[in-house]
Every structure is written in structure tokens, then in C-alpha cells.
Structure 1
Amino acid sequence: MTDLAQADTAPPGAGLPGGVALAALRRAAPALMLYAGTRALGLVVLAGWGAVAGKSPHQLLTARWDSLWYSRIAEEGYGYTIHLADGSVHSNLAFFPLFPGLEHAVSAVTPLSAPDAGLAVSSVTSLFAAWGIFAVGDLVYGRRVGIALVVLWGVLPVGIVQSMAYSESLFTALAAWSVYAVLTRRWVWAGVLAALAGLTRPVGAAVVAAVWITAAVELLPGERWRRAFHTHRRVLAGVVLAPLGWLGYVVWVAARTDSLTGYFDVQNGWGNGFDGGLAFAAFVGGLLVHPPFIAGIALLLGVIALLWLYVACVRQRQPLPLLVYSGSVLVLALAAKGYFGSKPRLLIPAFPVLIPLAIALVRLRPARSALLLGSVGLASAAYGAWWLHGSGPP
């Protein structure tokens, strides 16, 4: 791994001189082109499937499930609520504001509608996410691992979400670059990007945790806490900035609802919350005790595989920011109540757990690695098309 005590300057492409940014982009170009190829394949398969099924791929990408809530916020602001027959209340206050805010901004200055602006934001930020993921992999394990890591992220079974008018791509871009900034000790950038991630999704708390815990370890030895204000002002600035996005929105919802627990009450109205994984365990158990059993077995194996990958990350001694970030994402996704079919989507930002697989891939012969990734990419594209043409949300 490269030296983690580099100067506190901006990450590549974020304020550095043009030549340096261009060199960083050139280094990442193979990863970005391969990633773009995976997304293009997914869209081609989706379009072909839609032609056969008589459904519009454009509508599937911009006007289903959460994308409808985002575009309504972009067009009308907050305040929309649905009261369901079972007594539950779905308020659009459950959705963090950065993604619909960008939808609104783009649609205001271009001819694009809010849904199309959301698709544009997701498409552009997915490339920044791929670049950030490459930067992390390249920094810690080298360029080949960085490229493999990006392609693996692109061919996830639910990778089609990266091409939808959803906030996952935006969040992953901000999270990846924030983690990169922590790794390279660019603390102010880490705090700013963590704050923006916290304005994007509730799981922004995982990015804050990566900044805070790494900063705590940075300041713990000896008497450094006493001298922190004088010698570690940038570290403290990052620590202070990191939670402002997430905390700011939660406080705003509390003021809007006249309740200190307003945001959490809104989430409860959606059936969401944190119960330590009890509801998810009960859901999996229910699938395991009723025929045909295959769904429960597949889901259980998937969870075991995720946990095994995280243990592999620990055994590889990944840098602390990666372990804290990915571990927090896993806990927040797997130990929460809510729509269990959404959990694969909620796990998309946990890209560091793919690093052991990326390392294994680069140890294969290039032809074998390419064949394997190509096959998985095709399967992912087919699965994504089948998924979006089904009835359940991603």
C-alpha cells in the first residue's frame, strides 16, 4: 500500500491542477471503459427484453418505485404522503434531499424532465463512482486490482440499479471518494464528501463512521489529543464536517414534523427501522420452512457469502477506513427492517467486500479472467432485465 501520510490536498479530479487530474483519469480509463461496457450491455439486454415484453425500458429506468418519489420531490418539494389501507403512512420525508435536489437543478437548466434529469445524474455519477472505486483499489492493491474491482461492482446481480434514476450511484461516488480521501489523509475533503453522502442516503452514517473512527485512531497515541487543535486542525475539521449532512437533514425533519424523533417516525411509517436483524432472520426462516425452500436457501447462502467476504477483508488486513465503511454498510443493510427485496440494492455501496474477489481474479490468466467476468456480466444483464420486468422493487 502507498504511504497513508500524504499531503492534505484534494483527491484526483477534485481541485488538483488539470495535468494531475488528467493523468489520474488516464490511469483510470481502462476501468471506466470496462465499466461503461458492463452498463451498456445491461441496457442493451433490457431494451431487447422490453421489445419482446412490450414495455418501455425508459419507463422502467425512470418511473418505477423510488424513482417516482424522487421525481415528485424534485418537481413539488417535500410534503407528499400516502395513507395505506393497513394504516401505514408513507411520507416522502423518508428520502434524503441531495439526489432530488440535483434532479431539480438539472431539469431547471436543461430541457430534461425531472425523471430524465435523475437518469442523467445517476449515469454521470456512476462513472464517478467507478473512478472512486478504482482509485481506492489502485491505491491499496494496485492498478489491476482496481480495474477488476470496478468491473465486479458493475456486474453485480443488481447492477442495473446503477443505471436507474436512483441515488445508489451518487451515494457510492461520494462514499468511495470520501474513503479515498481518508486513506490519503485529505481530511477536509473526507469530511465534505461524507457530509454530502449523508445528504444522499441514510447509510451516509457509514461514511461518517469511517471518518470518525479513523480520525480517532489518528489522534489517540500519546498526548496528541491535547495538541490536536494546533497540530491536527484538518483532522478535526473533517470530523466536524462529516456528520453535518446526515444530521442536518434529520434535524430539519424533526423541525418539520415538530418531533425530535420525526425522521425515525417517518421511517417507521414505511415499516423501516433497526431491529438488529430480527425481522430479516424471521423472513429468511419463513422461506426455509415453506416449500419450495429454494428462495430461503439461496438467500441464506448469499448472506453467508457476504459475511465470508467481510471476514476475508479482515484477514487481508484491509485499511481501517475500508473495514469500518463496508462493515457499517453491511450492518445497516442486513440488520434493518423493511422491504427485504431491497437489501441487495442497499448493499451496492459496500464495494470493499469485493476486493478479495478482485485479488483472486487478477491472479488468473487474463483470458480466463476476461471469460469469467464476461459471463458474469451477461448473466447480470439478463437478471437485471428480468428483475425490472417483474413485480418486485429492487
Structure 2
Amino acid sequence: MVVRVVGAWWLLYVGHRNGRSLHTMLSAWDGQWMLALAGHGYDHIPPELTDAHGNISADTAYAFFPGYPMAVRALHALGPSTYAAAIMTSLVAGAVATVAAYRIGRWCAQRRWPEDQPQADRAGLIMAVLFAATPMSVVLTMAYTEAIYCAFAGWALWMILEKRWIAAGLLTACAGLTRTTAVGLIAVLLIAAFLSRRDGWRPWVGAALAPLGWLFWMVFVGIRVGTPTGWFRVQSTGWDTRFDFGAATLRYLVDTLSLNETAGDVITAWVIVATIVLIVLAFVTRLPWQVSVYGTLAASTVLLSTGLMNSRVRLLLPAFVLLTPVALALAQRSRTTQITVGAATTITSAWFGAYMLGIYPYAI
């Protein structure tokens, strides 16, 4: 709560100084697409909304998964405006995701220090703070999909760790209706269920449920576009997003760190580098394989593909479990160090989020 309040206060101030309203900033860029989908559906998109090339076709809107717009529309039906419903959905989902981050951090700490529950609780709390104060955590209060995806994915991962297979499968299916990042989560659940195949029928049911949401959207868009790879075609045509083994990310890092003078791009580049370091740390520190593999796969869907590089910090948010080694390390430090790091990350997150929404001129 404190992290969000600090971020909201600074966002209001930066918006005021730059002549931008809070309403405009929290529904900027893809937020306009989310509001249009929730308010009008996929076949009645306002003509002013276009893809990254300034074009729009009958299939352009289908690049966006339906989970978040559906949730917003359901809440809107109860009375709030579409905008209010979108922000409320993200706020609640962001809070739910933060609790999931706490549970995952505490679970990992309990396995490392089984006889020190207070330290495990501290690790969970630090994990929650780190998640809430990631550089682009402002998106958890925007009309974007990150909050609801992280809520579904975070709790699904915790259910996998706890071997609650039916709940894990259902939550993973919901995550699959929200973002394609869910393919990493689906893979982890399938592997975990296979390794527990002798535990009865529940792992099999969880594994069967897990891919349903993602597969539904792939099949639906594929039928509409007329090809099994329809969703990927829409993404590639409209937003230049395709798998390239990280070539575009590498070019961006080299160019940005050697030539770019814009704070948003330079920090984005360093966040990408930090993410790669965190992937290594996840395995070096021997986190539970479910956490390491999911974090790596979630980050890989971003780092190994082309697309708008300016949005990489936001797109990496679903890989928040990679922060677990940092949380575990801080849990062993003094209270002063923990408070100092928490305050520093909160202030940095507030500044960066407000900068990217209120000052940075490009899409995020």
C-alpha cells in the first residue's frame, strides 16, 4: 500500500508539471485498446486505434488476449464506468499478485530455513515489497494486463509448489486467457504434474486444465484469420513481434548503452541486463526448479523476441519470481539494510514510473 501511495503521489505531481492528467496517464497506449475492447468488443474498435505502424484491420484487435477486457466488462456491468472498472480491476489484481509474491518468497525461504519461521516471513515480506516496487510497477494501477496476469500466474505457481493441482490448472488456464507469457507457466505445470504422476489423478487433471485458456485463444484467432498461426501473424504484422533468439535485444543493448542519451532507454537496457543476471542467480542459488524455470521462461518470451523495446521493463514484470534470491539475501541482513533497500526501491520505482508515463515520449 505504501509503495502504491508513494507512486501515485509522484505520478500526480509529474503529471501536473507536464500538463497530463492522471486519467490520461493510467489509460495511455495499450490502455486505450483495453478500454475499447471492454467497452465495444473486438469487432467495434474505434478507428483511431491502430497497430504500431498506424494501421488497423479487421484482425488487429485480436492480438490482445480477452481475459482482462472480459473482467473489466463484468465489473462495468455492476455500475462503474469502463475506465473505473479497469483501474479497480488492476488495483485489486495488483494487491492479489503482491500477496502471491509474499507467499512464493516465504515458501522458498521455508525450504531453505525450515526452523526459522520469522526469517521466512521476512523474506516473504521483502519479496512483496520488491515486486510492488519493480521499476515499472506503476502498470499495476493502469488499464493494462500485467496486474491480472501476475495475480493468476503468481497464485498458480504457488499452487504448483504446494501440489494443489486442480487450483493450479484452473489458475494457469485463466492466466492463458490473459497473456501469451502463460506458455512458460503451462510448461512448468506440465513438467511438475508429470514428475508427480504417481500421486493419483489430480496431477493429470491439473495438466489437462492448464493449457485450455491459451489454446482457446490460439484456436479462436487461428480460425478467424484462417491459419493455425493466426495470432502470431497478427502480432508479427501489427507489432513486429516474433521470435529471433534475442538478436533484437542484443542490438538494442549495444546501441542504447553506447549511443542513447534518453534515461528511459538507458534504464530499460540496464533492467534487461539485471534480468539476465537474476536468471543466473536463480539457478546458482538453487531456488526450487519451478520458480527458476518459470522466471526464466517468462523472461525469455520477452528477451528472445523482437518488438517495441521501450516496453521491455513492463513486459518483464511477469518474471517477478526472479527477485526471490534478492529477497532471500536481504532477509539475512539487518533491519536497517532492509528498510533502506525498501525505501530506495520504492522511490526509484515511483520516479521511473512517473517519468515513463508523464515525460518519456514513446509507448510503454
Q: TM-score, normalised by structure 2?
A: 0.89
1:95 equivalent in structure 2? 64
2:130 equivalent in structure 1? 152
CA RMSD of aligned residues (A): 2.1
Distance 1:289 1:156 in 2: 25
**Quick check: 1:375 aligned with 2:344?**
yes
SS in 2 for 1:260: coil
1:344 equivalent in structure 2? 313
**Quick check: 1:50 aligned with 2:15?**
yes
Distance change >3 Å, CA 314–CA 190, structure 1 → 2: same
Distance 2:141 2:22 in 1: 11
Checking the alignment, whether the CA contact within 8 Å between 1:41 and 1:381 is kept in structure 2 is yes
1:165 equivalent in structure 2? 143
Q: Which of 232, 236, 251 is 2:219 aligned to?
A: 251
Q: TM-score, normalised by structure 1?
A: 0.83
Distance 1:289 1:135 in 2: 40
Distance 1:295 1:376 in 2: 17
Identity of aligned residues (%): 31
Q: Shift in Å at residue 294 of structure 1?
A: 8.5
Distance change >3 Å, CA 108–CA 332, structure 1 → 2: same
Checking the alignment, whether the CA contact within 8 Å between 2:271 and 2:313 is kept in structure 1 is no
Q: Shift in Å at residue 217 of structure 1?
A: 2.4
Checking the alignment, whether the CA contact within 8 Å between 1:275 and 1:336 is kept in structure 2 is yes
**Quick check: 1:324 aligned with 2:297?**
no
Q: Which of 67, 72, 76 is 2:36 aligned to?
A: 72
Checking the alignment, whether the CA contact within 8 Å between 2:194 and 2:203 is kept in structure 1 is no
Q: Shift in Å at residue 86 of structure 1?
A: 5.6
Name the amino acid aligned to 2:39. E
Name the amino acid aligned to 2:191. I
Q: Shift in Å at residue 138 of structure 1?
A: 1.4
Could you tell me which runs of 5 or more consecutive residues in structure 2 were left unpaired when the two chains were aligned: 110-119
Distance change >3 Å, CA 202–CA 40, structure 1 → 2: same
> Aligned residue pairs: how many?
347
Name the amino acid aligned to 2:95. L
Name which one, 1 or 2, has greater alpha-carbon Rg.
Answer: 1
2:85 equivalent in structure 1? 117
**Quick check: 1:138 aligned with 2:134?**
no
| Bigger mean CA offset, 207-216 vs 334-343 | 207-216
Q: Shift in Å at residue 299 of structure 1?
A: 5.3
Checking the alignment, whether the CA contact within 8 Å between 2:105 and 2:127 is kept in structure 1 is yes
Distance change >3 Å, CA 195–CA 50, structure 1 → 2: same
- 1:1-394 aligned at under 5 Å gives the runs 36-61=1-26, 63-79=27-43, 80=45, 89=56, 91-110=60-79, 112-141=80-109, 142-219=120-197, 224=198, 232-269=200-237, 270-288=239-257, 290=259, 301-390=270-359, 391-394=361-364
Distance 1:291 1:242 in 2: 42
